[in-house]
Structure formats: C-alpha cells, structure tokens
Amino acid sequence: MKITIIGGAASTGKTAITLYALRHIITKGIKPAVVKIDCLDASQDKVYASLNIPFAVGLSKDLCPDHYLATNYIGMFNWAKSKEADLLIIETAGLCNRCAPFIDLAFSICSIDYTTSINAPAKFGPIVKTADLLLLSKGDLISQSEREVFNYRLKELNPNAVVQEVNGLSGRGSKKLADYILKGKNIDSLDGATLKYTMPSATCSYCVGERRIAECYHHGIVNTMTF
C-alpha cells in the first residue's frame, strides 16, 4: 500500500483538489481509502462519501492535531489495509506552521494558498521544508509576477520539492497530482517509520487544562518573553 499525507492551512483547497485527484486515481482501477484529521468539525468532508470509498474522520478535539496524528498513524494504516486499499490518503490540518505532520515513509504534500502574500514563505517552516510536493492553489487570483516571487522563495526554502499549481474549483492540475501520488513507494508496514520533524513540547500547565493566567499557575516548561 502507498501512503500520501496532505497537510496545510485551512481553506487552501486540500479537500477540493484531493477529490479531483481521487477521481483520476479511481478510474485507473486503484482502490484508495481516505482519513481526514481535523480539530473540531469535519462535517464538510461528507463530500468524500460521494466517491463511495472507505473514509474515516479523526477529530483531535482538545489535543494538538499533529500530536493526535502521530499517535494514530499505525491505526489508520491498519484500518486502510483491512479495507484492502492500495492507497491511503491522509488529509490533515497543519495549523501553526511550527510543525510538519509528515512521516518518512509517506509521500508528503504541503498545500499552500497563493493569496497569502508573497511574504508568507518566510513564515512557513518545517511543513514546507519537509514536503515532497508543494501544492499551490488560487494562483488565478494574483499577478504572474507575484506567483514568480512566491515560487522563488519557496524554492529557497525547499529546493527539492516538486511544485504543482492547481485550481480546486476547475480541477486544473489534479491529474498531474494524481500521477505524483501514484509514484509513491509501496510499503508493507509502518514499523520503523519516523516523523520528519519533531513535535513541539507540550508540557506546561495549560496543556492539561489550566485556565488561570497568573504567574503562580505557570508550571512545567515555561518560556516567558524578555522585554
């Protein structure tokens, strides 16, 4: 089975373009399964059900979605195998740009919205640096020159990644995306798989539900600003 992980900020078009790519994949006789990881609500993702393929949702609720994802990789892999899938696609919300959700054995896709301004790449961290493919959407809304600057800056962050422009509305670029996904390597198990980037420490009092903000309630690993 192949695994593809697609991460990126909300509303960059991950679900829309994944749906288009899945249609190409299904017509090739390949059997995909999809898991969607979200924080609070994944109700919009009923759209996957229309494809009549194995589909599951994981809601991280109070937990950081990336931590939640890391502890559920094995479970998702086994689930997809039990459904006799040839390909597992995991769609996840990569939220604060601090983390990257990717593992070394999976094909890693980072979804980015061109309209986030050409200064955005400087703010992206590990999720861009550790991706195998950068998926760029909404390029039809900004000028050619801005797209070129944006691409140049992404290339500086991650010179090795493939760049694919897509349009989530028309499905433009989805066939190329499907081809890249299908080039991913087949793996039998996730034994020995590692995260491409470490998760942040989550060990202060607020991680376990503290709400009071006075200094005497700060416990664990605390880092205060110096002014």
Partner 1 sequence: MIHIYPGYNKNNEQENYECLTLLKGSVYSIVGPTGSGKSQFFEDIELLSDSQGVTRRVIKSDASIPVVAHLSQKMNFMVEMSVEEFVTIHASCLGVGDTKKHCDSVVQLANSITGEEIFCHDLLTKLSGGQARSLMIADIAMNPNSDIVLLDEIENAGIDRLKVLKMLSDANKMVLIVTHDPLLALLADFRFVFKDGGITHFLKQTLEEKRLSKHLLQIDRKQSDIRQRLRKGMEIREDYFNEKKITME
Query: Given the rule CB under 8 A, which residues bind partner 1?
Result: 115, 117-119, 140-146, 148-149, 152-153, 170, 172-173, 175-176
Question: 60 is written with which tokens?
Answer: 């991280």
Smallest separation, CB 162 to partner 1 (Å):
12
Question: 212 is written with which tokens?
Answer: 């009071």
Element (H, E) at 146: helix 144-157
Complex with partner 1: residue 17 or 99, whichever CB lies closer: 17
CA gap 29, 66 in Å, rounded: 32
Complex with partner 1: residue 101 or 173, whichever CB lies closer: 173
C-alpha dist (Å) from residue 133 to 28, 38, 56: 22, 21, 24
Complex with partner 1: residue 27 or 223, whichever CB lies closer: 27
Complex with partner 1: residue 71 or 119, whichever CB lies closer: 119
Residue 140 makes CB contacts below 8 A (sequence gap 6+) with: 167
Smallest separation, CB 1 to partner 1 (Å):
24
Complex with partner 1: residue 33 or 166, whichever CB lies closer: 166
Smallest separation, CB 136 to partner 1 (Å):
13
Return the bridge partners of 93, or none.
Answer: 8
Residue 150 makes CB contacts below 8 A (sequence gap 6+) with: 114, 118, 120, 121, 136
| 19: nearest Cα among 169, 138, 165 | 169
Question: Taking the alpha carbons of 99, 101, 104, 108 in that order, is the dihedral positive or negative?
Answer: negative
Smallest separation, CB 17 to partner 1 (Å):
14
Complex with partner 1: residue 152 or 217, whichever CB lies closer: 152
Smallest separation, CB 158 to partner 1 (Å):
16
Smallest separation, CB 139 to partner 1 (Å):
8
